[in-house]
């Protein structure tokens, strides 16, 4: 081999090798990552509102990602566990890459000391529930080991910080406009970090329609086929517990003040008179969407998830049968309304 061989010139050889490796890396890794098809966005994706974005910043600052994930993998066990099967389409049963196009950084997490929150906006849409839970988790979920965040109510939001976050995200491609930035002071005026965190939490998963089947017209004359069926009543109680209805409505459906209404008193959605069994069926199946059909708006910021995608009609009627049986039992014991 001649004296001028590249192998006898270590500096030149190292430089050439570096160029070759870099060229290969760019061609096989960097360039493909820049292709649009590797950065999908779900149809109609919108950036977080100023209040929701402020809540996301609080979520990061308080280390919520250390205990909660925000992604449901396309595995049957995860889809069932985290209720993604309420989605009308199979692709909505698990997290989609296009949902996170405007997330910088991603908050997928890797540890589930607490539950996954990817679909929290569908599973627990009630702002009242989240306010109560953040302020005193053990009051709402007795065995919870989550710390209290009531102190966030004392921390007022600063418009300048929210605007700074929006400007930073805009440089990364999030489509915030000058009008969005100008509106921030009015949006966050009088709001606290707790308001922001609640707003962010109930926004999770809303980029994709994951609502269960339900809603529409309600036939209040429809009879409950299991009204006096002892086995169905027992099944209804088991379903009430299995679907964590007690987390909002209490162990015996007696309700929780400021969280969710009593289901065994003489009122419906906080107003008299009570409505027939079919109204309860409609609410369980269609969630808060049934309020309009029933003519009972309920609490403005309240919300109930739809269970029509999780439970059969017979299962829902069984829960209603148990609620009615519980109401009759409490009245017979001299405790109308479960008190």
Report the b/e string of 117-128 with b at 16+ CB within 10 A.
Answer: bbbbbbbbbbbb
35/54 same-domain check: no
Rounded Cα–Cα distance for residues 84 and 86 (Å)? 5
Q: Is residue 339 part of a domain?
A: no
62/205 same-domain check: yes
| Residue position matching structure tokens 């009615």 | 324
112/28 same-domain check: no
> How many other CB atoms are found less than 10 A from the CB of residue 239?
20
Residue 146 clears pLDDT 80, i.e. is over it:
yes
150/76 same-domain check: yes
Q: Number of folded domains in the chain?
A: 3
Confidence of residue 299 (pLDDT cuts 50, 70, 90): low
* 144 φ, ψ (degrees, to nearest 5): -65, 140
Sign of the torsion angle spanned by Cα atoms 14, 17, 23, 24: negative
Q: Say which DSSP state 49 is in.
A: P
Q: Is residue 55 part of a domain?
A: yes
E-state strands within 115-162: none
Domain boundary among 211, 238, 261: 211
Largest CA distance in the chain: 106
Q: Count helices and strands (H / E) in the chain.
A: 15, 0
- Mean pLDDT computed over every residue of the chain: 87
34/56 same-domain check: no
Range(s) of the domain holding residue 289 = 230-333
> How many other CB atoms are found less than 10 A from the CB of residue 262?
21
Answer yes or no: pTM beyond 0.95. no
Q: Is residue 217 part of a domain?
A: no
> How many other CB atoms are found less than 10 A from the CB of residue 61?
9
143/244 same-domain check: no
Q: Is residue 222 part of a domain?
A: no
**Who contacts 338 (Cβ-Cβ below 8 Å, separation ≥6)?**
250, 252, 253, 254, 255, 262, 264, 265, 326, 327, 330
Tell me the CA end-to-end span of the chain in Å, nearest whole number: 97
Contact predicate 51/191, CB 8 Å? yes
Q: Is residue 216 part of a domain?
A: no
- From the list 122, 69, 57, 82, the residue with the least C-alpha distance to 286 is 122
For 4-63, write each residue's pLDDT tens digit.
Answer: 676 778 888 899 999 999 999 888 887 787 788 888 899 999 999 999 999 999 999 999
* 88 φ, ψ (degrees, to nearest 5): -70, -25
Q: Is residue 45 part of a domain?
A: no
59/172 same-domain check: yes
Confidence (pLDDT) at 1: 47
């Amino acid at each position: 081999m001649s004296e001028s061989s590249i192998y006898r010139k270590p500096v030149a050889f190292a430089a050439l090798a570096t160029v070759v490796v870099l060229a290969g890396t760019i061609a096989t890794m960097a360039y493909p990552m820049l292709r649009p098809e590797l950065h999908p966005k779900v149809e109609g994706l919108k950036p977080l509102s100023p209040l929701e974005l402020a809540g996301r910043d609080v979520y990061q600052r308080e280390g919520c990602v250390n205990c909660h994930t925000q992604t449901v993998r396309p595995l049957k066990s995860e889809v069932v566990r985290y209720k993604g099967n309420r989605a009308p389409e199979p692709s909505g049963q698990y997290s989609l890459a296009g949902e996170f196009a405007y997330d910088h950084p991603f908050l997928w997490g890797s540890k589930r000391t607490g539950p996954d929150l990817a679909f929290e906006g569908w599973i627990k849409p009630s702002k009242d529930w989240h306010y109560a839970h953040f302020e005193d988790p053990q009051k709402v979920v007795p065995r919870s080991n989550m710390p209290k965040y009531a102190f966030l109510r004392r921390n007022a939001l600063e418009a300048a910080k929210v605007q700074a976050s929006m400007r930073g995200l805009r440089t990364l491609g999030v489509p915030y406009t000058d009008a969005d930035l100008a509106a921030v002071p009015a949006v966050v005026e009088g709001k606290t970090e707790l308001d922001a965190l609640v707003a962010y939490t109930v926004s999770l998963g809303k980029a994709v329609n994951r609502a269960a089947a339900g809603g529409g017209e309600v036939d209040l004359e429809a009879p409950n086929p299991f009204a006096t069926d002892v086995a169905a009543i027992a099944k209804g109680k088991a379903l009430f517990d299995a679907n964590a209805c007690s987390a909002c409505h209490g162990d015996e459906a007696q309700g929780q003040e400021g969280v969710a209404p009593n289901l065994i008193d003489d009122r419906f959605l906080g107003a008299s008179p009570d409505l027939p069994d079919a109204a309860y069926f409609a609410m369980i199946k269609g969630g808060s969407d049934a309020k309009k059909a029933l003519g009972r708006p309920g609490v403005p910021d309240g919300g109930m998830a739809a269970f029509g995608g999780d439970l059969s009609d017979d299962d829902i009627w069984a829960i209603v049968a148990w609620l009615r049986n519980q109401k009759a039992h409490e009245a017979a014991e001299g405790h109308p309304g479960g008190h």
